[in-house]
Every structure is written in structure tokens, then in C-alpha cells.
Amino acid sequence: MQRSGGWATGWNAARVAVAVLILVAVGAQFASSTAEAVAQGRDVATVVANFFSFFTILSNVSSAAVLVLVGVRYFARGRRVEVDPAALATALAFVSTYMIVTGIVYNLLLRGIPLQPETVPWSNEIMHVWGPLFLLLDVLLGPTRRRLRWSAAFAAAIFPIVWIVYTLLRAPLITNPTTGAPFWYPYPFLDPNTSGWGSVAVYIVVIAVAIIALAVGIVAIGRARGIRMPIDSAPAVRPGP
């Protein structure tokens, strides 16, 4: 099924459609957040910077960009069923990891926290549930995924580590535009003022290990599927009209 032209065409169309849906969801939340900032007289520049400092936003935007690239490449090449280029395949594995982690962390740690007035409920669900779920299905079912080296799984941790360092360095320098507190952390489990540095360190280690473990799993699935369907060595297949 994975090598059929019809399956590949349908799935890549779904990739593009989901990417558009994710971008619409991000855009709707951005518009709501900035409108609320203006209405409440908050510093809009800080609100915008904070918006793009959420791991959820970064993972959703990056996944949408990669899904569009994969889908558009497939159609631009005449719907040829061929393995993804290494760089694009690696990027797809990375964003799949980040989106699945986003879904897990939100639904395990943040689901019970009351939403802010500016939060758009349907957008929130797309970014934290349906987007991550599609990327999980893409790992399991998506066509043309390349068998990656194991090192790719460990490289997937680089961006989250950079993001955590950025967050912890920036947070004490930002005045919370909503509460006026002399700090702003995107997620409560990263706020040492609430739970202490020990708790923050534990969460960081657990999430880092989870990211690497999940990335290893994604690479393993890709390699296993590649063994069953040796697409790296197979000629390209052009589906019929």
C-alpha cells in the first residue's frame, strides 16, 4: 500500500492540508493574543516575542513548513514515489518528534490548567492534539520516509536544548505582560519561582530523555519500514494518470 501512487498522492495531499490547518490555527491564536494585548494595554512587542517563544508554536510552525515541503516536492516531481532526500527526511523526523512531545506534555502536564481569555479553543486543540496525532500517524503510515542513521535521533535533542537555554536565560529579563511579575516562563513546570530549581531540573532531564527516546523510536520505525520496503534502493515509481 505504501508504494502505490494513489496512497502516496492521498497522503501527501493530507500533509499539505494539515500544514495549512496548523498555520490557520497558529494565525488565529496569534491574532487573538495580539488583539487582547492591544485591548488590555499590554506591551505588544513583548506579547509577540513571548508568543514565538512557546515550544508549541515553534514545533507547530516548523512541522507545517516541513509538511508543505514534503508534499509540494512530491507533486512538483510529478507524483513520483521515491525516497525523501536525507536533509528533508531528517527534518521530518525532527518535527515529528517535537510535535509528538508537544502533544504528550500538554495532555499530561497542562491539560488541567484553565485557558487564558485570549486562548482560541479549537486552535489550541489543533496545535496540541490533532497536529501531533497526524505527525504520529505520518511516522507509522506516511510514504517515502527514508531510513536514517541512528545519530539523527540524538541530533533531534539539539533544538530543544537550545530552546530551554534560551528560555531560562530570557525569562528573568522579561516582565510578564499579564501579571506584571518580573519574569515570564512559557510553561509553569519551567518556572523555578513556583516549584524550585530542583523540580525544574527534573522536568528538563525527563523531557530531554523523552525526546531522545521518542526520536530513537521514530528512527527505528523508519528503519524497520525501510527494511520491509527497501525504498532506498528501489527505482522511482510514477503513478498512472
The string of pLDDT tens digits covering residues 68-127 is: 999 999 999 877 777 788 899 999 999 999 999 999 989 988 887 878 889 999 999 999
Residues 6+ apart with CB under 8 A from 145: 83, 84, 89, 92, 93, 139, 222, 225, 226
| Helix, strand, or coil (residue 156) | coil
* Residue % of the chain over a pLDDT of 90: 71
Average confidence score pLDDT of the chain: 88
Place 226 in a pLDDT band, splitting at 50, 70 and 90: low
3-state SS class at 113: coil
pLDDT of residue 5: 74
**Grid cell digits, residue 130:** 490533532
- Residue 145 confidence (pLDDT): 76
pLDDT value for 225 = 76
Whether 230 has a pLDDT exceeding 70, the answer reads no
User: Do 170 and 53 meet the contact criterion of CB atoms below 8 Å apart?
Assistant: yes
Alpha carbons within 13 angstroms on the beta-carbon side of residue 227 total 5
CA distance 77 to 79: 6
